Structure 1
Amino acid sequence: MNFKLFLVLILGATLFLSACGDDAAEDTGEEDTAEEEPADDESADEGEESSEEGDGGSAELETNIVTIATGGSSGPYNIIATTLADGYSSEFGVNSRTETTGASAENLNLMAQESVEMAFVMSDALVQAVNGEETFSEPIENVQQVAALYPNFVQLITTEGSGIESVEDLEGMRVAVGDQNSGVEIATRSVLDAHDMSYDDINVDYLGYAEAAEAMRGGQLDAAFLTSGLPNASVMELENSVDLKIVPIEPEVVETMEEDYFEALDIPEDTYGNEEAVPTVAIMNALVVRSDLSEDDVYNMTQYMFENLESLENSHQAASDISVENSMESMVIEVHPGAQRYYDEQ
């Protein structure tokens, strides 16, 4: 073979193999991969941002526990507070639950003992507690208000045929006045006092809602005071088994009650099968917290409550009267700074 021809063949083969090697490199996609690496980094950054945004959907609380003192198991306090506690647990990841109690006075004493973080109470009991009056031997200092809630209606119930047409007719009768030192009992004393009466004029039984309803059903009571939002479940149940009657508390009597938290309101017709509205006295309920809870915690809890009123209304219709406007107008003691910050933003 001609030597020059041999060299030409060798050179041609070398160039051919080199070209094949370049094609193979392109087929592996290595160059494409190298060019796409920055895009992968960009994608990872976007993923990290999305994750951070997702984790910030709800605030956190400094406290790990939010125990809400309520009242009897069948009352609106307990029903509404249970929904609120469930919401706090879900929204903030805390251990929030309700505690069934004798209501207002007991709840305020539990606040003083730092056994609970939050409580539903009646405004009359709250004012007495911070002033150290009536059943409170000394002022309770570590409590501040979060909100004014909805009116509690004094419901003086009896049965047709009892002969009781007015508060004065309770003289000598067996009357349930609420659990001892409860908000119901505090209101009962005020109503009797407005009629120039006292416990000396009646035969007193200290019974809560369910117990009073059961005693009346069994013929062991002539009348009972119940103070709650409308309707009261125990009264509704009692209505099905007795000929229920609601005793009026007249507006002119309410006007003699000096405290600002008393208001003349009507129990609407057909609340308990009553054909006409019945006049009575009402006291605004209050939601309170311990003063030592942080401003941020109380701000977040206040905001959550007002932004989720629909769920509270679904649990009990009394909550339909809760509003930011009413709350700001009906405070009776110092407002917690966290709640005040929320109101200032409205």
Structure 2
Amino acid sequence: MKKKRLYLSMVFLLTLSMLLAACGKSEESGEKPGSGDKEEKPKFISILTGGTGGTYYPLGGSFAKIIQDATGIDANAETSGASAENMTTLKNGDAEIAFSQTDIASYAVDGKLMFENNKVDNVKAIATLYPETIQIVTTKGSGITSVEDLKGKKVSVGAPGSGTVANAEQILEVHGMTFDDIEKQDLSFDESTQGIQDGTIDAAFVTAGTPTGAVESLGATEDVVIVLITQDKIDELIKKYPFYVKEEIPSGTYGLEAAVTTVAVQAMLVANSNLSEGVVYDITKAIFENLDKVTHAKGKLIKVENALKGVGIDVHPGAQKYFDEKGVKAE
């Protein structure tokens, strides 16, 4: 009888140890990024973009289709007030992915400027995409040829909550001006170009990839002028705000007779940090391995080797895993 009890005890202990080992192994291995486990996948993701006249919206539409086809997750591009509003929406948990300017994402994560009392601590980068050109748009009929000429004019500085507002303020600053020196209007890109066409405003700041749809539409009926920023002011701006880079709008864009020097920040894609590593890995891989399916001209500028340039905030572990596989390093 004792031998039987001893035998049963040994069987019980062996079985228990096997169960514990199996559990430990399961916990240790976890979910492998990119494995496509259905339990970790959301059924739907919302991609916050910008106004319909900008670049974010059509790009977001392409990304949504790519993600849906590659991962099986229903995805949809949503219009919004762009960068600053997108960061706040992500903070509130009302979306999963968003476009943002690199400067605005940095302000949000660091709790600076418009985010001083609204710091965003649940957002990480997926990748930088392409330069976001700051375009000061007007027409030949306005007589505006320099930033200083904006003084006293009706000027749109972008939709409330957009990154364009900060760009406008900083560019005016290095020219010794503030919003008090202009008749500030807070309009979306479409509203801005319509206002220029109607004569209700004189000029507008538009921060978007070129060519920008709303400006192209204006060029169909008006002689578009993009106000240049001189080299000394570009240098001053970059010294104070290092996230800017010099940019040139080529001749022929919007019918321009000559190239125009200006500045740019970068467009980036960010994600709610609560999205799992596996899902963000799959999304990142889907986008960068299907760029041939992006219909907007900016798709040609999106390259995996540039994905970590000027990113400015922490990269999501899922995206980082993909870039590590590709040998892409931060610069």
Q: Which bracket does the TM-score occupy, shorter chain normalised?
A: 0.7 to 0.9
Pairwise mapping of residues 56-71 of structure 1 onto structure 2 (< 5 A)? 59=36, 62-71=41-50
Indicate the SS of the match to 1:135: helix
Which position in structure 1 is the counterpart of 2:251?
269
* Equivalent in the alignment of 1:249: 229
Q: Report the counterpart of residue 123 of structure 2 in structure 1.
A: 143
- Out of 42, 47, 60, the residue aligned to residue 81 of structure 1 is 60
Q: Deviations over 1:183-236 (max 9, x none)?
A: 111211111112121100000110111111111111111111111001011111
* 8 Å contact from structure 1 (residues 176, 225) kept in 2: yes
Q: Is there any run of 5+ residues in structure 1 with no aligned partner, and where?
A: 1-57
Q: Which residue of 1 aligns with 2:6?
A: none
For the residues of structure 2 that align with 1:138 and 1:178, how far apart are their CA atoms? Answer: 20
**Conservation of the 8 A alpha-carbon contact between 1:122 and 1:283:** yes
Deviation per residue, 1:236-291 (Å, 9 max, x gap): 11111112211101232122122222001100110111111100010111100011
Unaligned runs of 5+ in 2: 1-34, 327-331
> For 1:155, which of 124, 127, 135 is the aligned residue?
135
Relative contact order higher in (CA < 8 Å, ≥ 6 apart): 2
Alignment partners' CA distance in 2, 1:170 and 1:289: 37
Distance 2:230 2:127 in 1: 28
Structure 1 counterpart of 2:220, which letter? N
- SS of the aligned residue for 2:308 comes to helix
The answer to whether the aligner puts 1:331 opposite 2:331 as a matched pair is no
Q: Hey, what does 1:319 align to over in structure 2?
A: 299
C-alpha deviation, 1:90, in angstroms: 2.1
2:32: which partner in 1?
Answer: none
In structure 2, how many angstroms separate the alpha carbons of the residues matched to 1:149 and 1:260?
A: 18
What corresponds to 1:294 in structure 2? 276
Residue type of the alignment partner of 2:252: D
Q: Identity of counterpart residues, as a percentage? A: 38
Contact 2:197 2:222 in 1 (8 A): yes
Q: Aligned Cα RMSD in Å?
A: 1.4
Cα distance in 1 for residues equivalent to 2:234 and 2:63 = 32
**1:229 partner amino acid:** G
* Structure of higher CA gyration radius: 1
Aligned residues between the structures? 288
Cα deviation for residue 161 of structure 1 reads 3.0
Cross-structure match for 1:177? 157
How far the C-alpha of 1:151 sits from its partner, in A, is 0.4
Pick aligned residue for 1:111 from 82, 90, 108: 90
- Equivalent residue in structure 2 for 1:201, among 155, 176, 181: 181
- Structure 2 counterpart of 1:6: none
Counterpart of 1:221 in structure 2: which amino acid?
Answer: I
Rounded Cα–Cα distance in structure 2 between residues aligned with 1:175 and 1:328: 34
- Is residue 2:223 matched to residue 1:231? no
Aligned to 2:200: 220
Q: Distance in 1 between matches of 2:273 and 2:93?
A: 10
| Residue pair 1:174, 1:222 contacting (<8 A) in 2 also | yes
Asked if the contact 1:178/1:185 (under 8 Å) is kept, the reply is yes
